[in-house]
Amino acid sequence: MTQRVYLDWNATTPLRPEARDAVMAALDVYGNPSSVHGEGRRARRILQDARAAIAASLGAEPETVVFTSGATEANVLALTPGLHRTGTPPVERLVVSAIEHASVLSGGRFTKACVETAPVDRSGVIDLGQLDRLLVDRPPALVSVMLANNETGVIQPIADVAELVRARNGVLHVDAVPAFGKIDIDFKGLQIDLLSISAHKIGGPKGIGALLVAEELRGLEPAVTGGGQEKNRRAGTENLPGIAGFGAAAKIAATNRERFFGHSDVLRRRLEAGLKQIVRSTIIFAEDVPRLPNTTLFTAPGLHAETAVIGFDLEGIAVSSGSACSSGKVQPSHVLEAMQVGAALARGGIRISLGWETTENDIDRALEAWRKLAGTLVRKNDETVLERF
């Protein structure tokens, strides 16, 4: 039987051997990290070592790392009314980019009336002029802009966003989940106030994430209450095996980041060239702007994403769709809609995302599957759809 090819690394990644070993070792450490006896101190040492490894991989101090159950909880914790830096007024509203993850678009602990959306351009890059207009001469805002988009891979100009936000006495939250482990992230250098990350996107276990909180930030109220863990920022006994695996994954991801970038970039170029060669009307979304090296979102006129994903799967290739399915009804990708892509193309986005185990053979097998599928799934001469794009 032909081995399957996994090309959905932005959804989740295999558990790295180093992370698995760390998880297994931590399972034998039965002390509570909050206890003062020897068993507790041993557990706390594992927790603190992981905290330091994660912080070091992001140019941050260990004290900034708050462990959560995942990035969704980290985002909800971050989106808190009343946040402020020392000497600035508390934020009263939330401004999110139009391409954020659902956990950010939902507004966290802000009421819907206090949430506004900043648009992106046709390449999926945030419109800095429009963002500034949402901030100037108005009450201070918490601004949430993801570092890189999980569907298109587009890297946002976070340094420029941070400059705007600080000039308006705002606070900046960055969802770094898709970018973590793929590109260099300097938490302090970029002047980020809050940053969300997840373990299972970098080869760590599922069910563990973290929020980095700048030392000068004030007003963060815990979303989970009842205990004093994580310096009163997140109650509950820490998930020690998950945290140990997270730390191990962060360490290996940081060590291999440059190699991963080069490896993925070469394979992505091979993939995109092949897609276009097979179907000349192929559209690579956001190909004209900086993207994550491992991410391709593409379509072709007449392509229906859900049918294509099933077709790839039957050929032994795991990819994902730019569309979301709700109650059995396929909806266009909100990311592509924000980029002003027509509904027909927005329903046809296919995401291929690569990882550290992806090979040239995997790319070639994906292209061969696309060659088989394209003849029946793509209307090659549908100029009406192309003109709308």
Q: pLDDT by residue (tens digit) across 100-124?
A: 999 999 999 999 999 999 999 999 9
Task: Tally the domains of the chain.
Answer: 2
Supply the pTM of this predicted model. 0.94
Q: How would residue 78 be classed by pLDDT, with cut points 50, 70 and 90?
A: very high
Long-range contacts of residues 32-38, Cβ cutoff 8 Å, at least 24 apart: 32/237, 33/229, 33/237, 33/238, 33/240, 34/228, 34/229, 34/237
What pLDDT was estimated at residue 330? Answer: 56
Q: What is the DSSP string of 5-41?
A: EE-BTTT--PPPHHHHHHHHHHHT--S-TT--SHHHH
What is the CATH classification number for the domain harbouring 92?
A: 3.40.640.10
What pLDDT was estimated at residue 89? Answer: 96
Same domain, yes or no: 271 and 336: yes
* Cα–Cα distance, 308 to 173 (Å, whole number): 35
* Cα–Cα distance, 196 to 72 (Å, whole number): 8
What pLDDT was estimated at residue 377? Answer: 85
State both tokens at 204.
Answer: 């760590």
Same domain, yes or no: 149 and 64: yes
Same domain, yes or no: 280 and 172: no
* Cα–Cα distance, 209 to 240 (Å, whole number): 12
**What sign does the dihedral 143-153-70-29 (CA atoms) show?**
negative
Beta strands in the chain (DSSP E): 5-6, 65-68, 84-85, 93-97, 115-118, 141-144, 171-175, 194-198, 209-213, 217-218, 283-284, 295-299, 317-318, 320-321, 324-326, 329-331, 350-353
Same domain, yes or no: 356 and 338: yes
Same domain, yes or no: 200 and 72: yes
Which residues, including other chains, have CB under 8 Å from residue 139's CB and lie 6 or more apart? 89, 91, 92, 93
pLDDT tens track for 326-356: 434 557 889 999 999 988 888 999 999 999 9
Domain carrying residue 107? 17-252
* Cα–Cα distance, 253 to 85 (Å, whole number): 31
Same domain, yes or no: 317 and 372: yes
* Cα–Cα distance, 364 to 125 (Å, whole number): 30
What pLDDT was estimated at residue 386? Answer: 40
State residue 316 phi and psi, 5-degree precision: 85, 20
Same domain, yes or no: 93 and 146: yes
Same domain, yes or no: 241 and 186: yes
What pLDDT was estimated at residue 1? Answer: 57
What pLDDT was estimated at residue 160? Answer: 98
Task: Answer whether residue 388 shows pLDDT above 60.
Answer: no
What pLDDT was estimated at residue 371? Answer: 95
Active site residues: 325
pLDDT tens track for 282-305: 999 999 999 999 999 999 988 999
Task: Answer whether residue 322 shows pLDDT above 70.
Answer: no
Residue where one domain finishes, among candidates 205, 237, 252: 252
**Nearest CA-CA partner of 80 in 175, 211, 196, 221:** 221
Residue where one domain finishes, among candidates 188, 221, 252: 252
What pLDDT was estimated at residue 280? Answer: 93
Same domain, yes or no: 271 and 384: yes
What percent of the chain clears pLDDT 70, i.e. is strictly above it?
Answer: 95
What is the CATH classification number for the domain harbouring 358?
A: 3.90.1150.10
Same domain, yes or no: 134 and 216: yes
Most distant CA atoms of the chain, gap in Å: 72
Mean local confidence (pLDDT), 24-38? 96
Query: Residue 327: helix, strand or coil by DSSP?
Result: coil
Cβ atoms of 131 and 143 within 8 Å: the answer is yes
pLDDT tens track for 138-169: 999 999 999 999 999 999 999 999 999 999 99
Same domain, yes or no: 60 and 175: yes
Residue where one domain finishes, among candidates 237, 252, 267: 252
Same domain, yes or no: 186 and 244: yes
* Cα–Cα distance, 236 to 47 (Å, whole number): 14
* Cα–Cα distance, 184 to 199 (Å, whole number): 16
